[in-house]
Amino acid sequence: MNTFVQTQFEGNRSGLKDVLPLREKITPEAFEREREKIFKKSWLMIGHVSDLPEPGSYVVRELPVVNASLIVMRGRDGKIRSFHNICRHRGNKLIRGGEGCKSTITCGFHGWTFSNTGELLGVTDENQFNNLDKPKLGLLELATSTWEDFIFVNFDPSPAVSLEEWLGELGHGYDGYFQSQRQYARYRIRVRCNWNLAVNSFTEGYHTAYIHRNTAPDYQGGKKNPQRHRPFMQLLARHARYSAPANPEHKLSPAEAIAWNYGPTLFPAADFDYAGMAPALNPGRAEHWLFDVIEWFPNVLVLPGKHYHVELEFWPLSASETDIIMTAYAYPPQNYAQRISLEFFRTRLREVAREDMNTLEAQYAAISSGVMPEVFLSQQELVLAHHYRVSEQMLNA
């Protein structure tokens, strides 16, 4: 009797391509279309509600892919808004970067002042201006919405769908999960690679036995799943998610044994007690579950586990360069021993990610050469095919 793990597929698989003309999707011409038709029309995750704890709290986000600098701010009324970081007088950049807290924003060029809800409050030497309609000269606001601890923006003046509709099924079942964890590590790296390839590299587990054979050789799979097939894979209207299979025969290294003896079991080991988890975690109810991988189209991946989650942002700088931000979150440690466990988690995660980054640049260099115009996908790489199906739908809309 065959007892090997079989993937439980959900969602529409019709029309997915198993041969992709990938070379044509990473050209400068394709990238310019993606700027206009994808990034300026999608709900983009740009921050966290917890980063703006009080009225006046703000962060500045630079988004070269849409040629924008944003001030994301909690107003005196408690509402979170996003504004273009530009003065309505002569177009000066209002805040040069970073984060902080302000009751008002004053332009360093000529002293015009705006409230933290965007209204124009003061114009220096105002009587020298003719026909100045101050109520119409507030900061330029764009559509902003929140879900759980995440802040999303949309550059379309009239978004086709709400954030709730955009997230669809992925907007349910995580109540409180993200808010209760705290940032523990953050890494940022610029890679010479097209953003699509960068996203793709994290949406399949086919590579894990090979790229990560030195840092995490046996954390997935096991005797019943030697090829590390995903136990669950779900394709939604825009997004996708799958579950990574834990290896029940995983052998703890001496360092892991010390770390997990004092704290919660973190990556790359697994905790098979699923009681009390958020209902959306491990959606296929796999017997041996490690973590899920969620792709929020177009450019964000979230990897939620029982005691932690990792966020990956892929921000295109050009057709050939991507800014990748990886942030790790975990439940706050209760003692010094648990802090040591978290430090081990942080270090191991960094080393695993470095192996992925090296591969990205090598793959991009090879494909961009044009020698091999097509790539071939297995059933374990359907999330890649789905990514390009959604891209085509938006590009042709």
- pLDDT tens digits, residue range 185-221? 999 999 999 999 999 999 999 898 888 888 888 999 9
- The CA distance from 239 to 152, in Å, is 15
Q: Which of 21-25, 138-142, 226-230 has the highest mean pLDDT?
A: 138-142
The CATH architecture of the domain made up of 8-37+177-395 is Alpha-Beta Complex (3.90)
Whether the per-residue pLDDT at 175 is higher than 90: the answer is: yes
DSSP 37: I
- Residue 108: partners with Cβ closer than 8 Å, 6 or more residues away: 92, 94
- CA pair distance 60, 321, nearest whole angstrom: 21
CATH number 2.102.10.10 is the correct assignment for the domain at 44-158: yes
Supply the pLDDT for residue 251: 87
Q: Please, what sign has the CA dihedral across residues 78, 84, 88, 92?
A: positive
Q: Residue by residue, what is the 3-state secondary structure of the chain?
A: CCCCCCCEEECCCCCCCCEECHHHHHCHHHHHHHHHHHHCCCCEEEEEHHHCCCCCEEEEEEEHHHCEEEEEEECCCCCEEEEECCCCCCCCCCCCCCEEECCEEECCCCCCEEECCCCEEECCCHHHCCCCCHHHCCCCEEEEEEECCEEEEECCCCCCCCHHHHHHHHHCCCCCCCCCCEEEEEEEEEECCCHHHHHHCCCCCCCHHHHCCCCCCCCECCCCCCCCCCCEEEECCCCEEEEEEECCCCCCCHHHHHHHHHCCCCCCCCCCCCCCCCCCCCCCCCCCEEEEEEEECCCEEEEECCCEEEEEEEEEEECCEEEEEEEEEECCCCCHHHHHHHHHHHHHHHHHHHHHHHHHHHHHHHHHCCCCCCEECCHHHHHHHHHHHHHHHHHCC
At residue 257, the pLDDT reads 86
What are the domain boundaries of the chain?
Answer: 8-37+177-395, 44-158
pLDDT, one tens digit per residue, over 219-252 is 999 999 999 999 999 999 999 999 999 999 998 8
Residue type for position 379: Q
Portion of the chain with pLDDT greater than 70, in percent: 99
Check whether 1 has a pLDDT greater than 50. Answer: no
Answer yes or no: is pLDDT of 3 > 80.
no
- Provide CB contacts within 8 A for 370, sequence distance 6+: 23
Task: Read off the pLDDT of each residue in 264-279 and give the average, rounded to a whole number.
Answer: 89
Please tell me the predicted confidence (pLDDT) of residue 344: 87
For residues 336-342, average pLDDT: 86
Give mean pLDDT, residues 318-325: 97
pLDDT at residue 132 above 90? yes
Q: Of the ranges 54-63, 104-113, 332-341, which one carries the lowest mean pLDDT score?
A: 332-341
* pLDDT tops 90 at residue 266: no
Q: Supply the pLDDT for residue 151.
A: 98
pLDDT tens digits for range 41-94: 999 999 999 999 999 999 999 999 999 999 999 999 999 999 999 999 999 999
Place of tokens 């086919």: 206
How many other CB atoms are found less than 10 A from the CB of residue 220?
24
Spatial distance between the Cα atoms of 35 and 231, rounded to a whole number of angstroms: 34
> Is residue 88 within 8 Å of 51, Cβ to Cβ?
no
Q: What is the pLDDT of residue 300?
A: 98
3-state secondary structure of 372: coil
Q: How many other CB atoms are found less than 10 A from the CB of residue 91?
A: 10
Residue 338 pLDDT exceeds 90: no
Q: Quick one: pLDDT at residue 278?
A: 95
Give CA separation, 222 vs 188, 228, 248, in Å: 32, 8, 6
Mean pLDDT of 160-180: 96
What is the average pLDDT across 98-127? 97
